[in-house]
C-alpha cells in the first residue's frame, strides 16, 4: 500500500513478519545511533555555549538545511540533485508513515480524500525528481569520480543510492499501475534495510546535520575562550565538547573543505576533512572520557600547524562544521602542554614577549619610523587612532603602505595620530594557540588605548582589524575599528581618478573577505586607477596567500608554497598590477610573484594606488 488506491489486506503471518522486520530494522538503527548519542553526551558541555540568537539560528536552519542553499551555491549541479533528494525525503515522510501504518492495517491517507489525492500526486512528482537526482549523483560518484570525494570507491554510497532509487521506483510503479503485494514488500524491504544503514554510514548526516547547523557555536571562526586555568585547549578526549563531538559525527565526507584548503592544495599533510574525521575516529575508539592525546593516531600535529586559518573549509562546509575552533583548540592543547616544539614558533613567541612585535625589532625602530614619516602622536584631539600593526611599523613594504595611507588621510582632511607605544595585537599568538601571550598583548594594548582615550581606530591590516574587533572582546571592549579599505571607500568621492589602461587583479585577503565580509570597498578604490578584474578564485572563494594563522613566521617546508600557487594564479590573469589590501599578502607576494613570472605584475596596496594620484607635497 504505497498509496491507498486500492486497499491491500495482509494475512496475520505477513503482519507478524512485517513487525519482526520493522523491530529488527529499528533496533539496527538504535544500536549504532544510541551509541553515537552516548558518545556525544559523554563529552563535556561547551563552557560559553548559549542558545541565544534564535532568529539567526532559525534563519541558518531554513537557509542551509531546508533550502539547501549552501550545498547548491557551492556546487550547483550536484547541489540541486542533493537538494531534490533531501526535499524528497521530507515529502516522503508522510507517505512512509502511511506505508508503515498500512502494514498493520491502519492506513491514514486515502486517495478517496482530496488531501490524500493531492499528497500522493505531490509525492509522485518528488519521486521522479529524486530518482533522476540519485541516478545523477551515482554517476558522479562512480563514473566521474571527482578527486575530492576520496580515492576509495564507497560501496556504501552505492548501496544507499540503490535503495533510494528502489524506494522511488516502487512508489511510482504502484502509483501508475496500482498496488501489489510484490511492490509493497519491495518498498518495505528497501525502507527497512535503509534505516539501520543511516547511522552506520556517512548518511548519519541526514539525522545529525540539521541539529549541527542549528547548534553552531557562533559567528564565523568563533574561537571559544578557555574556560579557566585548568582548560588547556583540546589536548585529550576529556577536552572535547559536545558541539565538537556532534560536528565530528556530522561530516558527510563531501570534500568541499578539502577542495578549497590551501594547505592540501599545495601538498601539505593537512586536510580539513581529516580533522573532522580524525576527531570522529578518536571518539569511536577512545570516547570523550579518555586521557589519550588527541594528537597522535588520528590527527597529526604537523597537519594542525599547517593551517593558515583562512577559513575556506568552515565557509564551505554544508553541515555546519566549525573547523577553526577545532584546529586552534588542538594548537592550544599542543602549545599549552609544551608538546609543540618548533624553532620558528619559539622565536616568534620570544619576539612577541620581549619586543612586543612579531618581527623581533626593538620599539625604537618604530619610533624612528614615526618620526621620519612625521606621523602625529595620538593626543585625544584627533578623530582616529592610526593603528600601525607589526607590519606597518617594521616591515619596509608595510611602512610604505602606512605612508601612502597617511597621505590619503591628510588629503581627505581626517585627523589621526599613532599611539606612542603599540604592541602586536596578539594575532599570531592567538591563532597558534598561545593564549597566555595573546592575553598579555591584548590587555596591554587595551590599556594603552583606554589611557589615550581613543574613540576610533583605522588599520591597514585585516588581521589587526579582526583581532581587535573580535578576539580582544574576551578581555575588554576595544574602540570600533575599520579597515583602510572601508575608510577610503567612504571618502572615495574626494580621491582623484587616475584611470589608466592598467588591468588590476584584486586578491581578496581571507581576513578581510571571509572574516569581515568586505569585498566591494577595496575594488571601488582600485577602480579609481584602472579596470579591476578577479582571479578565478575570488571573493568568498578566494585562495589564501599563505600568511595567516601565524604561518608568515613559521617555515613552510612541505610541498609547494601557498604564496607561489596564488601568485601564479594572479599573474596568469595577465593583469599589469596586483592590488592587495593586507600587508601580510603583500609580503607573501613580494617574492612569490617574481618567482612564478619572468615579468611579474606590479604589486601595490590599495592605499598606494589611491595615493598615487594625490598631489605631491
Residues lying near ligand SF4 in the complex (CB under 6 A): 251-257, 260-263, 270, 272-273, 276, 307-313, 316-317, 319, 321, 323-324
CA pair distance 364, 360, nearest whole angstrom = 12
Nearer to ligand SF4, 266 or 434 (CB): 266
Residue 324 C-beta: closest distance to ligand SF4, Å: 6
Nearer to ligand SF4, 148 or 361 (CB): 148
Q: Which long-range contacts (CB under 8 A, 24 or more apart) does 76-81 make?
A: 77/136, 78/136, 78/137, 78/140, 80/133, 81/132, 81/133, 81/134, 81/136, 81/137
Determine phi and psi for 354, rounding to 5 degrees: -85, -40
Residue 76 C-beta: closest distance to ligand SF4, Å: 16
Residue 486 C-beta: closest distance to ligand SF4, Å: 24
Question: In DSSP terms, which residues pair with 577 in a beta bridge?
Answer: 504, 602
Nearer to ligand SF4, 64 or 400 (CB): 64
Question: In DSSP terms, which residues pair with 387 in a beta bridge?
Answer: 459
Residue 331 C-beta: closest distance to ligand SF4, Å: 11
Residue 511 C-beta: closest distance to ligand SF4, Å: 11
CA pair distance 332, 468, nearest whole angstrom = 20
Nearer to ligand SF4, 313 or 545 (CB): 313
Residue 294 C-beta: closest distance to ligand SF4, Å: 16
Nearer to ligand SF4, 328 or 611 (CB): 328
Nearer to ligand SF4, 25 or 316 (CB): 316
Nearer to ligand SF4, 272 or 356 (CB): 272
Nearer to ligand SF4, 256 or 366 (CB): 256
CA pair distance 308, 509, nearest whole angstrom = 12
Nearer to ligand SF4, 232 or 511 (CB): 511
CA pair distance 279, 330, nearest whole angstrom = 11
CA torsion sign for 259, 261, 262, 263 is: negative
Residue 205 C-beta: closest distance to ligand SF4, Å: 7
Residue 234 C-beta: closest distance to ligand SF4, Å: 15
Cell 599589469 found at: 576
Cell 527497512 found at: 192
Grid cell of 469 as nine digits: 574587533
Q: Which long-range contacts (CB under 8 A, 24 or more apart) does 103-112 make?
A: 103/1, 103/10, 103/15, 103/18, 103/19, 103/22, 103/188, 104/15, 104/18, 104/19, 105/9, 105/10, 105/15, 107/1, 107/4, 107/7, 109/3, 109/4, 110/4, 111/3, 111/4, 111/5, 112/4
Residue 261 C-beta: closest distance to ligand SF4, Å: 3
Could you give the 3-state DSSP secondary structure of residue 92?
Answer: helix
Nearer to ligand SF4, 407 or 561 (CB): 561
Residue 318 C-beta: closest distance to ligand SF4, Å: 6
Across 4-39, b (16+ Cβ under 10 Å) vs e yields: bbeebebeeeeeeebeebbeebeebbeebbeebbeb
Half-sphere exposure of residue 288: CA atoms within 13 angstroms, side-chain side:
24
Nearer to ligand SF4, 239 or 271 (CB): 271
Closest CA to 551 of 539, 565, 561, 538: 561
Nearer to ligand SF4, 275 or 504 (CB): 275
Grid cell of 453 as nine digits: 582615550
CA 166 to chain centre: 36
Nearer to ligand SF4, 209 or 445 (CB): 209
Nearer to ligand SF4, 268 or 484 (CB): 268
Helix, strand and coil percent figures for the chain, each rounded to 5? 60, 5, 35
Residue 113 C-beta: closest distance to ligand SF4, Å: 41
Residue 189 C-beta: closest distance to ligand SF4, Å: 30
Closest CA to 432 of 510, 359, 345: 345
Residue 303 C-beta: closest distance to ligand SF4, Å: 9
Question: In DSSP terms, which residues pair with 603 in a beta bridge?
Answer: 578
How many DSSP H helices and E strands does the chain contain?
Answer: 27, 8
What is the rounded end-to-end Cα distance, in angstroms, of the chain? 86
Give CA angle at 395 (389, 401), nearest 5°.
70
Helix runs in 286-383, H state only: 301-304, 312-316, 323-336, 343-355, 363-372
Residue 32 C-beta: closest distance to ligand SF4, Å: 19
Grid cell of 306 as nine digits: 599547517
Amino acid at each position: 500500500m504505497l498509496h491507498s488506491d486500492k486497499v491491500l489486506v495482509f494475512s496475520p503471518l505477513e503482519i507478524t513478519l512485517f513487525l519482526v522486520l520493522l523491530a529488527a530494522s529499528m533496533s539496527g538503527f538504535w544500536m549504532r545511533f544510541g551509541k553515537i548519542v552516548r558518545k556525544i553526551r559523554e563529552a563535556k558541555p561547551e563552557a560559553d555555549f548559549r542558545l541565544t540568537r534564535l532568529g539567526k539560528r532559525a534563519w541558518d536552519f531554513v537557509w542551509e538545511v531546508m533550502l539547501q542553499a549552501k550545498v547548491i551555491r557551492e556546487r550547483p549541479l550536484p547541489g540541486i540533485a542533493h537538494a531534490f533528494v533531501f526535499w524528497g525525503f521530507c515529502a516522503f515522510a508522510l507517505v512512509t508513515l502511511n506505508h508503515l501504518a498500512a502494514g498493520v492495517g491502519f492506513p491514514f491517507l486515502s486517495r478517496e480524500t482530496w488531501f490524500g489525492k493531492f499528497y500522493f500526486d505531490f509525492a509522485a512528482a518528488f519521486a521522479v525528481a529524486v530518482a533522476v537526482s540519485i541516478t545523477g549523483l551515482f554517476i558522479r560518484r562512480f563514473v566521474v569520480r571527482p578527486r575530492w570525494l576520496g580515492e576509495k570507491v564507497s560501496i556504501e554510497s552505492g548501496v544507499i543510492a540503490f535503495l533510494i532509487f528502489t524506494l522511488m521506483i516502487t512508489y511510482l510503479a504502484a502509483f501508475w499501475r496500482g498496488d501489489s503485494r510484490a511492490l509493497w514488500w519491495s518498498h518495505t524491504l528497501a525502507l527497512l534495510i535503509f534505516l539501520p544503514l543511516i547511522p552506520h554510514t556517512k548518511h548519519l548526516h541526514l539525522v545529525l546535520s540539521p541539529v549541527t547547523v542549528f547548534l553552531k557555536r557562533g559567528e564565523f571562526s568563533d574561537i571559544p575562550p578557555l574556560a579557566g586555568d585548568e582548560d588547556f585547549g583540546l589536548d585529550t578526549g576529556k577536552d572535547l565538547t559536545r558541539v565538537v563531538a556532534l560536528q565530528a559525527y556530522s561530516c558527510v565526507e563531501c570534500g568541499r573543505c578539502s577542495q578549497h584548503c590551501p594547505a592540501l592544495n599545495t601538498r601539505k599533510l593537512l586536510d580539513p576533512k581529516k580533522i573532522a574525521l580524525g576527531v570522529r575516529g578518536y571518539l569511536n575508539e577512545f570516547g570523550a572520557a579518555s586521557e589519550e592525546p588527541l594528537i597522535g593516531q588520528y590527527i597529526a600535529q604537523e597537519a594542525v600547524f599547517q593551517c593558515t586559518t583562512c577559513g575556506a573549509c568552515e565557509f564551505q562546509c554544508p553541515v555546519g562544521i566549525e573547523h577553526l575552533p577545532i584546529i586552534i583548540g588542538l594548537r592550544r592543547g599542543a602549545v599549552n602542554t609544551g608538546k609543540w616544539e618548533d624553532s620558528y614558533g619559539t622565536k616568534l613567541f620570544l619576539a612577541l614577549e620581549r619586543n612586543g612585535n612579531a618581527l623581533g625589532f626593538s620599539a625604537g625602530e618604530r619610533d624612528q619610523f614615526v618620526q621620519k614619516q612625521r606621523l602625529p602622536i595620538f593626543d585625544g584631539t584627533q578623530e582616529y587612532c592610526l593603528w600601525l600593526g607589526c607590519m606597518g611599523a617594521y616591515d619596509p613594504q608595510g611602512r610604505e603602505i602606512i605612508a601612502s595611507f597617511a597621505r590619503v588621510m591628510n588629503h581627505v582632511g581626517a585627523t589621526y595620530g599613532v599611539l606612542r607605544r603599540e604592541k602586536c595585537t596578539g594575532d599570531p599568538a592567538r591563532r597558534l594557540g598561545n593564549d597566555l601571550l595573546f592575553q598579555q598583548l591584548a590587555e596591554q594594548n587595551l590599556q594603552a588605548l583606554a589611557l589615550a582615550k581613543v574613540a576610533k581606530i583605522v588599520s591597514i591590516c585585516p588581521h589587526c582589524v579582526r583581532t581587535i574587533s573580535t578576539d580582544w572582546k574576551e578581555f575588554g571592549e576595544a574602540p570600533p575599528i575599520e579597515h583602510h579599505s572601508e575608510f577610503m571607500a567612504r571618502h572615495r568621492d574626494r580621491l582623484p581618478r587616475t584611470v589608466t589602461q592598467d588591468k588590476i587583479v584584486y586578491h581578496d585577503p581571507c581576513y578581510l573577505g571571509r572574516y569581515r565580509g568586505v569585498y566591494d570597498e577595496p575594488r571601488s578604490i582600485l577602480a579609481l586607477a584602472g579596470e579591476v578584474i578577479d582571479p578565478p578564485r575570488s571573493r568568498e572563494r578566494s585562495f589564501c596567500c599563505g600568511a595567516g594563522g601565524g604561518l608568515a613566521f613559521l617555515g613552510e617546508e612541505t610541498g609547494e608554497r601557498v604564496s607561489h600557487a596564488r601568485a601564479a594564479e594572479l599573474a596568469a590573469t595577465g593583469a599589469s598590477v596586483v592590488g592587495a589590501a593586507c600587508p601580510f599578502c603583500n609580503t607573501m607576494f613580494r617574492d612569490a610573484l617574481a618567482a612564478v613570472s619572468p615579468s611579474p605584475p606590479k604589486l601595490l596596496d590599495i592605499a598606494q594606488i589611491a595615493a598615487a594620484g594625490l598631489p605631491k607635497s
